Chain A
């Protein structure tokens, strides 16, 4: 560093500003609260997942014992259902993401395969879902830039206004170097706090192998911080007064953090309208009504829904017929459902493409991806639950049709859910491209600032 003394001087000046210490304290408090809040939510979700997993393990043990003694009617096992649980996210404290909205578990029951998907999530107050969470991602994406800008809005504009700029530059440094050194020195404590909180969140609650994710999260946060530093530099290059600079940076924050994401949301929903759930539901019902009518009289009887009450010698027939109708419904609804899913994927792909519109969007997407609470991991979960539905149907249907009991030999083949994480390369490419995009943006802004504050441009040489 050519002017290390300047860097040190700025740090020392910063340490003397009372307001700066207040800002550090507030930011640290917000980070701590966000982490703590995220930890509580993660704990709640882990408890729910644990109870579900224990239930299903207990059932497996009992079933194994029973099967050791005798064979069991497949209908009895199929009726209990197979529960799919999304394992706790690898870095849950980093971001709540979609985990409070998208259900993290689903029980697949053979008899209800054709029913509309179960989308019940936890009992959250809808107003809280609307307001969003005070988690680490919120502090990092929303508040971090505000705190940075509060320290950085006056890098040069104030000196220009007061006429002290020439004096400051008289020590023989270019305006760019002077400004950049000051900016880095002033941003350093905030960047360090943000990085520390992220590290802490990862160390407090990180699944095995979360190291790469944590390293990338640190990189994303630093890149996001650097973008705002670069923006503060660029605004200072042109602003004529500190107040002007503050107003311009405030407006930039509002546009990039508040307005851009909502505009992107509105645009995506206008370009690719969310398909109608009610229509999907009604279409499925139409198919099932038609299939039932073809299903024969036997099926239109009371016992269709209460096979347990049917005369023992007829139960199997009802079950078999029910499955026949169900698979017909499944086939009829499949194309509608596929179109529905494809449209949802198109929406999110559009968001991914346009995330560079605002680094806030890119950072939010990257952090939720790294936390394992983002859109894509939940989508992968839903797709794998789809796979489980198929496995359940393929395992039980032929056995029920053939009236074949389940024996101990079948135990290992019983459908079970094992979540396979999205391949590392896939999420990493999303995160790395976000990261690269932000670095390019920060670089471009800096290059522009560098050109704009050359002494000749500033008019410092002419007078």
Chain B
């Protein structure tokens, strides 16, 4: 019986001209979004690769100069684009693409693509992910709002139930049939995503296929939850019109209001500091120590005394190496501790804001899905942080090598002599290993849990509502 009902619903939906037009529009939009994103990822990668090559040449060909001068010349590194950005660009437009690594300071990633975009970017971006998140739920609403309420209004529900069909079977049959319609629509999108990923050079790097499979699962949970909610509303609504109104309000609350309200809530509960305050605090801590009571000059003087004692000398000039180099190593180490503390706290704060918004997804499932989707695609904040940390590590390594050169290969008491290409070559080019799939899954877990709870809750509600289906 369930299968017969499912078959009827499936055919009905296909024959509905209104739905067919909407479905074609949505699927075409998703396809276009994938195609354009695929091109965009390749273009960005080519640009970053060209810039990285040029930058490496700049570094190697900087000529003969003082090694500390080279540390100030510094290096720029560029953030690689993860393959699944073709599906969900996530935060990529709103985080920096470029980090300037230089002596003495840790810089934040700069140049947000959105800063170089038109104001239209603020309306949101057309990606396969946003299409699936915002537009497919509308298709589900269109498919389901009349499924039960409409039959009740027309009086056919009474007839069907009078034939002895169990209300639960009727509801499940409809759910199955409409679910299959959705699956039939979205399967091509999934296939197209897979083909696009396969055609992307290096597309299979970093466990992309596993991530894509999980993405499929996350979106399936989301749509399954929405399908069940819509059918439940249609089951209790007195008229199709009332069901449509209720569902559209829910859609707007979930898709339009929730992301903005979630952001407001997070900023209210867990505010971020102002940029000027953040930088002033960090500058102060560099000068006066993290505890505020150990001025840098004093720490470095103590360090000089200790060094002299360790080597049994009385004057810095007598040391077997250039003390200026060692002091720079030490002050970089001290500053590094400050940077780790302050940036660590800032980034922890941003991550806890994001977690709060994800759990707010218990009220609006889009928030859970958005978070899981970005995490799985590798475009969420945790993965941006991973890059920032790797870039900072590279900065410290590179400054350390230069300072060690200053310490060991120049005469004491000087600020160093001139180094050349042989030293520049000692510094490897920046190589970044993106986070593993395990990292992505960990980051996606809260979102996936929210989605799971929604799907479980919505289907339970539907099963509870179904037996009490009223014929009129």
Q: How far is the CA of A327 from the CA of B381 in the complex (A)?
A: 38
**A-side contacts of B43, CB under 8 Å:** 273
Q: How far is the CA of A373 from the CA of B70 in the complex (A)?
A: 40
Q: Which of B50, B93, B103 contacts A130 (CB 8 A)?
A: B93
Q: Which of B113, B134, B415 contacts A258 (CB 8 A)?
A: B134
Nearest neighbor of B64 in chain A, beta-carbon distance: A300
Q: How far is the CA of A304 from the CA of B353 in the complex (A)?
A: 43
Contact indicator A123/B22 (Cβ below 8 Å): no
**B-side contacts of A142, CB under 8 Å:** 256
Q: Main SS of the interface on chain A?
A: helix
> Which stretch from B261-269, B287-295, B332-340, B454-462 is at the chain A interface?
B261-269
Contact indicator A347/B94 (Cβ below 8 Å): no
**A-side contacts of B240, CB under 8 Å:** 243
Asked whether A266 and B126 contact (CB < 8 A) given A278-B98, A301-B66, the answer is yes
**A-side contacts of B272, CB under 8 Å:** 123-125
Count of chain A residues with a beta carbon within 8 Å of a chain B beta carbon: 87
Contact indicator A126/B76 (Cβ below 8 Å): no
CB distance from A299 to the nearest CB of B (A): 8
Q: Any chain B CB within 8 A of the CB of A339?
A: no
> Which stretch from A69-77, A282-290, A417-425 is at the chain B interface?
A282-290
CB distance from A307 to the nearest CB of B (A): 12
Nearest neighbor of A279 in chain B, beta-carbon distance: B51
- List residues 116-156 of chain A with CB under 8 A from any CB of chain B: 116, 118-134, 138, 142-143, 146, 150
Q: Main SS of the interface on chain B?
A: helix
Q: Any chain B CB within 8 A of the CB of A320?
A: no
**A-side contacts of B48, CB under 8 Å:** 276, 278
Contact indicator B259/A305 (Cβ below 8 Å): no
Contact indicator A279/B50 (Cβ below 8 Å): yes
Q: Any chain B CB within 8 A of the CB of A281?
A: yes
Asked whether A125 and B354 contact (CB < 8 A) given A142-B256, A265-B126, A293-B63, the answer is yes
- List residues 62-83 of chain B with CB under 8 A from any CB of chain A: 62-66, 68-69, 72-73, 76, 78
Contact indicator B120/A128 (Cβ below 8 Å): no
**A-side contacts of B47, CB under 8 Å:** 276, 278-279
Asked whether A263 and B54 contact (CB < 8 A) given A131-B262, A351-B120, the answer is no
**A-side contacts of B130, CB under 8 Å:** 262
Nearest neighbor of B68 in chain A, beta-carbon distance: A302
What are 21 of the A-B contact pairs (CB < 8 Å)? A116-B110, A119-B111, A119-B115, A126-B384, A127-B381, A130-B94, A132-B259, A265-B123, A268-B120, A277-B113, A278-B48, A282-B76, A302-B66, A302-B68, A304-B66, A304-B69, A305-B68, A351-B119, A360-B123, A361-B120, A375-B119
Binding site for A on B (CB under 8 A): 18, 22, 29, 32-33, 36, 39-40, 43-44, 47-48, 50-52, 54-55, 57-58, 61-66, 68-69, 72-73, 76, 78, 90-91, 93-95, 97-98, 100, 103, 108, 110-126, 130, 134-135, 138, 142, 146, 240-241, 244-245, 248, 252, 256-257, 259-264, 266-267, 272-276, 278, 346, 350, 353-354, 357, 381, 384, 415-416, 418
Binding site for B on A (CB under 8 A): 37, 44, 47-48, 51-52, 97-98, 101-102, 116, 118-134, 138, 142-143, 146, 150, 242-244, 246-247, 250-251, 254, 258-259, 261-266, 268-270, 273-279, 281-283, 285-286, 289, 292-293, 300-306, 309, 344, 347-348, 350-351, 360-361, 364-365, 368, 374-375
Beyond A101-B115, A132-B123: 16 further Cβ-contacts under 8 Å?
A44-B274, A51-B276, A120-B110, A127-B94, A130-B94, A134-B263, A246-B241, A246-B244, A258-B134, A266-B33, A268-B118, A274-B113, A274-B117, A289-B73, A292-B65, A351-B120
The 7 closest A-B pairs by CB, nearest first: A261-B123, A278-B51, A128-B263, A300-B65, A262-B126, A131-B259, A302-B415
